[in-house]
Homo-oligomer: A and B are copies of this chain.
Amino acid sequence: MSAEFLEHVEQLLLVDHHVHSIYAHEGDEARFQNLLNEASANPLRRPEAAYDSQVAFALRRWCAELLDLEPHAPVEDYWKRRAEVGENEIARRMTGAAGVSDWLIDTGFKSDDVLPRSSLAPHFTGATHEIVRLEAVAQDVMATLTDPSDYVETFRAALDARPAEVVGAKSVIAYRVGFNQDLRRPSDQAVATAATRWRDEIDAGDGTVRLMDPTLLSFGLHCAVDERLPLQLHTGYGDNDIDLIESNPLYLMDFLREHDASGVPVLLLHCYPFEREAGYLAQAFETVYFDVGLSTNYVGAQSPSLIARSLELAPFGKIVYSSDAFGAAELHYLGARLWRNAISSVIGRWVTAGDWSVQDAIRTVSLIGRDNARRIYGLD
Contacts and interface: CB of A to CB of B under 8 A. Distances in A.
Contacts of A45: 263, 286
Contacts of A37: 283, 315
A284 B239 contact: yes
A46 B287 CA distance: 11
A276 B244 CA distance: 11
A111 interface: no
Contact of A312 (B49, B54, B280, B283): B54
A277 B256 CA distance: 25
- As for how many copies of this chain the complex holds, the number is 3
A54 B245 contact: no
Interface string A215-259: 000000000000000000000010110011100101101101100
Given A57-B360, A253-B244, A298 B313 contact: yes
Contacts of A295: 313
Interface stretch (A78-86, A168-176, A351-359): A351-359
Interface stretch (A114-122, A189-197, A203-211, A300-308): A300-308
A61 interface: yes
Nearest to A71: B354
Interface residues of A, number: 69
Interface string A34-51: 000111110011100110
Interface in A284-326: 284-286, 295, 298-302, 305, 308-309, 311-318
Interface of A: 37-41, 44-46, 49-50, 52-54, 57-58, 61, 71-72, 237, 239-240, 243-245, 248, 250-251, 253-254, 256-257, 263, 272-273, 276-277, 280, 283-286, 295, 298-302, 305, 308-309, 311-318, 350, 353-357, 359-360, 363-364, 367
15 contacts: A37-B283, A39-B280, A39-B284, A40-B283, A40-B284, A41-B284, A49-B318, A52-B367, A53-B314, A240-B284, A240-B285, A244-B280, A273-B277, A283-B298, A302-B311
Given A52-B363, A283-B298, 12 more contacts: A49-B315, A49-B317, A49-B318, A52-B316, A53-B315, A61-B356, A72-B356, A72-B357, A72-B360, A273-B277, A299-B313, A305-B309
